[in-house]
A and B are shown apart, each in its own frame.
Chain A
Amino acid sequence: MSTEIPLWDAAETRAFWPSAYDRIVLDQTDSTMAEAARRRDTLTGPTWILARNQIAAHGRRGRPWSMPPGNFAATLVMQPKGDPAQAALRSFTAAVALYQALAMLTGPKMLSLKWPNDVLLKGGKVAGILLESAGQGGGVDHLSIGIGVNLASAPDGSQVEDNAVPPISVVGAGGKASSPEDFLFWLASHFADLEQQFQQFGFDPIRHLWLKHAARLGEVITARLPSEQITGTFTTIDAEGHLILNTAKGERRIAAAEIYF
């Protein structure tokens, strides 16, 4: 892409790579989540797997994820300590890390967060985060955090479901162009710092950072669950990451839902 210029000198960005993490860069794969599943038993530590092209990418619950060239697709594979509920809090860690990395390209003013891990750019869907974990006996054997970012271009909006957030890209919103490799350095660096905070102090610092950037805090939003729809004032997220909605029938704590503004 002719408009693409390196944001930072390669040697300089490499200096920010978090030393505890490995990195694998692939020209092409089916999806970085599938790649992570195949490789995870051979990995010796937390590893970022980046692919320049994904030919069979998917989103949550098998939804298609379209990836035009120049966009970002990577999966972090890790073996977090703690139970599955603790592992799931990485949803917020990943969202805050992605917010911080994107802010370097767009500035922070156009960015906001939607529960639990959507990063919005000018209110549009600029990225997707998907987490998969598995474990025995109350523990977690592995956690894969897949992150796709529309760096260069947004996919065709006609495939988007009704009432879903329309897609947008960093460049399309007037942000700086970045190669996926450069973007990974910054994303991995921010994630490593936040993960260290999480391990040292628990969820609280991540929770506060997330709330600081949350869209529609204090406003009425709608959470759609498989069995019901809940509308109420978005007051906060609790210490376990639940979305708290104040409704006419009292307070509701929500662990899984699609959020609509």
Chain B
Amino acid sequence: MTKTTHDADVAFIQALAEVLKANDLTELQVKRDYGEGDSLNVRVSRQTQAVTQVAVPAPAPVAAAPAPALSAPAEETAEDPAQLPGAVTSPMVGTVYLQPEPTAAAFVGIGDTVEEGQTLLIVEAMKTMNQIPAPRGGTVRRILVEDGAPVEYGAPLMIID
């Protein structure tokens, strides 16, 4: 195999990796036949936590369906935090803010005791700052999102018990 071909193959594989990432796929396999006995067989895959569901690029946005092409893939694990008792989930697609404003302290930290109704974080969509209150009193056990992270509808945000 000449160097030119090699470079072209590398570029091709890089392009496939981009397609994989852009469309939120877990695996992509392509075979290219250059001639008899000369072919390139590429399988590109990446590690994700998805075991129960594979993200598929959906063509058009559908009302109430999980958004396919939004900025972050929904995290799903074998032990889905959204299903844990005490999980606080996002009521909307948007961006998470853990502080009331960038220079302020976080609303809550791990180990904090919170009262029912106390603001835990903000999810912003359409320039609407939606405060997410604690559904019950308890202790903040886990914070599952980073400040500024995009979240999907139903994404687990915190565990309070």
Residues of A within 8 A of B (CB): 60-62, 83-85, 87-92, 116-117, 129-138, 143, 225-228, 238-242, 244, 249-256
Contact = CB atoms under 8 A, between A and B. Distances in A.
A240 B95 contact: no
DSSP class of B's interface residues: helix, strand, loop or mixed? loop
B113 to A, nearest CB: 19
Interface residues of B, number: 40
B131 A132 contact: yes
A227 B101 contact: no
Nearest to B149: A227
Interface stretch (B6-14, B37-45, B47-55, B86-94): B86-94
A232 to B, nearest CB: 12
- Residue among B67, B104, B135 with max Cβ neighbours from chain A (10 Å): B67
Task: Please name the 8 residue pairs, one residue from A and one from B, whose CB atoms are nearest each other, closest first.
Answer: A62-B101, A226-B148, A88-B128, A249-B22, A256-B95, A134-B131, A131-B128, A91-B126
Given A133-B131, A226-B148, A256-B94, A85 B125 contact: yes
B128 A90 contact: yes
Contact of A136 (B67, B104, B117): B117
B85 to A, nearest CB: 16
B128 A133 contact: yes
A241 B93 CA distance: 11
Given A134-B119, A255-B125, A85 B92 contact: yes
